[in-house]
Amino acid sequence: MAYELYYWPSIQGRGEFVRLALEEAGAEYIDVARVHGAGALTALWEAEGVATPPFAPPFLRDGKKLIGQTANILLYLGDRHGLAPKNEAARLWTQQIQLTIADLVVETHDTHHPLSGDLYYGEQKPESLRRAKMFRESRIPRFVEWFESILTRNPKGDSHLVGARLTYADLSLFQIVEGLSYSFPRTMRRELPHAPRVARLRDRIAARPRIRAYLESERRIPFNEDGIFRRYPELDKQR
Amino acid sequence: MAYELYYWPSIQGRGEFVRLALEEAGAEYIDVARVHGAGALTALWEAEGVATPPFAPPFLRDGKKLIGQTANILLYLGDRHGLAPKNEAARLWTQQIQLTIADLVVETHDTHHPLSGDLYYGEQKPESLRRAKMFRESRIPRFVEWFESILTRNPKGDSHLVGARLTYADLSLFQIVEGLSYSFPRTMRRELPHAPRVARLRDRIAARPRIRAYLESERRIPFNEDGIFRRYPELDKQR
């Protein structure tokens, strides 16, 4: 039976980390809200009969299982599709990297929503300018340096984040580099040259046949200013 | 061999979720920075020979394993100490709840640091006032309502978040209710009466023999204004 992915139909957002894993796995899945509309998402999300209602999208249905929280979905898919190591320590390390990427996703989102997700960007723009400045100058460099360092230290070589094979964490690193490069092109042009292994991993993921086919398809929603990664040039201005 | 927990020695912070699990498990552990000083934490954190360096504390050493990210540490400890179900779907649901609590922890932290962790609260106070207002009025109610709803819907009864037995998620829910009640006492006095199951779970956890002994010991660091849960009365004022 095909997986059912429940996520907003018009943005990449957090759902994209799941989409990339499903695409790389060659798994059959229905992107429910893209096929049946956002109403199909909210219908399940708000259904009173669900014993394990997710707090927020994305969530994945696999038969009777309903799984929420992006990193948790990837933990599940990783085991099923060979996108995570079987060794316990390596499997936890993969998830640890994923959760660190999840932290970076929150921080990225909050550059345009530093006060509340219930207010528009225009209602919190001065705060966004201050938060984005700190994010560009202190947080992006720190995260990128960390990704570079763990690639450098991988005993199995710097082609993957964990061991010698692809994991869902590699796919997610690709996505966050893509997203940050869309949102903060000037900052990333400054930072990525200091992280050549991160840049090469990004290129290598983009060139994988299934990922490339996906990126070129209509299934890949373009980045836009409703998602997590938004291009507001004023937030990427250097000083 | 005793676990080694690496976390800041003067705050509950994220480390507290791990401490509570270790205490409930009756596990032997060394709270490294409390015994040997914060230098012992940074020494391992920054050691260049570590193949899997954590991005931030807390992290846990178990022999040769080094595990970071709070929810990931709990995933590990849960399996080892009977603090998580063995059934796969229930185990993932436990982790999903934990990750949702982790999201709430970030949002709580950001009420006093809406712009940056590198600035003092005093440098972002107007922004904190606005963020905290949204947090009190929209986010706390939404999270508390979700916790109440998942307790209500638990097919095994409303005594635990998952199934009929204690999990690390129950301990974490206790901690976040404690923390929010410290930071936002007025808001929580308004919200908790609408969530009687959450309030009862909190009381039940506090009364567990090992948890009670821990809370009464010197090992439990009091809440303070350096941690995640801070009592700044101006952030809890109703309008």
Instruction: Give the list of residues 6+ apart from residue B9 with CB closer than 8 angstroms, or none.
Output: B31, B33, B34, B37, B38, B41
Confidence band for A156, pLDDT divided at 50, 70 and 90: very high
Mean pLDDT of A196-215: 98
Rounded CA-CA distance B238/B130 in Å is 12
Model confidence at A238: pLDDT above 80: no
CATH 1.20.1050.10 domain residues, chain B: 88-208
**pLDDT grade, residue A157 (50/70/90)?**
very high
Residue B61: how many other CB atoms lie within 10 Å? 18
**A138 contacts B96? CB cut-off 8 A:** no
Question: Where are the domain boundaries for CATH 3.40.30.10 in chain B?
Answer: 3-80
Cα–Cα distances in Å, from B210 out to A33, B61, B179, B217? 47, 22, 19, 10
CATH topology for A88-208 is Glutathione S-transferase Yfyf (Class Pi); Chain A, domain 2 (1.20.1050)
The mean per-residue pLDDT over the stretch A169-196 comes to: 98
Question: Is the pLDDT at B239 greater than 70, yes or no?
Answer: no
- Are A51 and B118 within 8 A, CB to CB? no
What's residue B1's pLDDT?
86
Cβ within 8 Å, pair A131-B153: no
- What's the pLDDT at A102? 98
Mean pLDDT of chain B: 97
- The CA-atom distances, in angstroms, between A203 and each of A170, A174, A212, A214, B192 are 11, 8, 10, 15, 50
Q: Specify whether the CB–CB gap between B101 and B111 falls below 8 A.
A: no
The whole-number average pLDDT for the span B104-126 is: 96
Alpha helices, H only, B85-184:
88-112, 125-134, 140-153, 168-183
ipTM for the predicted complex: 0.98
Q: How far apart are CA A75 and CA A77, in angstroms?
A: 6
Percentage of residues in chain B having pLDDT higher than 90:
98
pLDDT at A58: 98
Rounded Cα gap, residues B129 and B132, in angstroms = 5
User: What is the domain class of B3-80 according to CATH?
Assistant: alpha beta
User: Which H or E run contains B206?
Assistant: helix B196-207
Q: Residue A96: which of B69, B118, B150 has the nearest Cβ?
A: B69
pLDDT in tens, A84-128: 999 999 999 999 999 999 999 999 999 999 999 999 999 999 999
Cβ-based contacts of A128 with chain B (< 8 Å): none
| Calpha distance A12→A125 (Å, rounded) | 23
The answer, yes or no, to whether residue B222 has pLDDT greater than 60, is yes
Distance CA B20, CA B29 (A): 12
Helix/strand/coil (H/E/C) assignment for every residue in A84-119 = CCCCHHHHHHHHHHHHHHHHHHHHHHHHHCCCCCCC
**CA–CA distance, B58 with B13 (Å, rounded to integer):** 9
The two beta strands, B29-31 and A65-68, are unpaired
A-chain residues within 8 Å CB-CB of B50? 153
C-beta atoms of A69 and B100 within 8 A: yes
Helical H segments across chain A, by residue range: 15-25, 32-36, 38-45, 70-80, 88-112, 125-134, 140-153, 168-183, 185-191, 196-207, 209-216
pLDDT value at position A239? 56
Let me know: does A73 contact A58? Beta carbons within 8 Å.
Answer: yes
Quick: pLDDT tens for B18-55. 999 999 999 999 999 999 999 999 999 999 999 999 99
Q: Check residue B192 and give its pLDDT.
A: 98
Answer whether B36's CB lies under 8 Å from B42's CB: no
> Which has the closest alpha carbon to A73: B168, B54, B99, B162?
B99
Q: Is the pTM of this model over 0.95?
A: yes
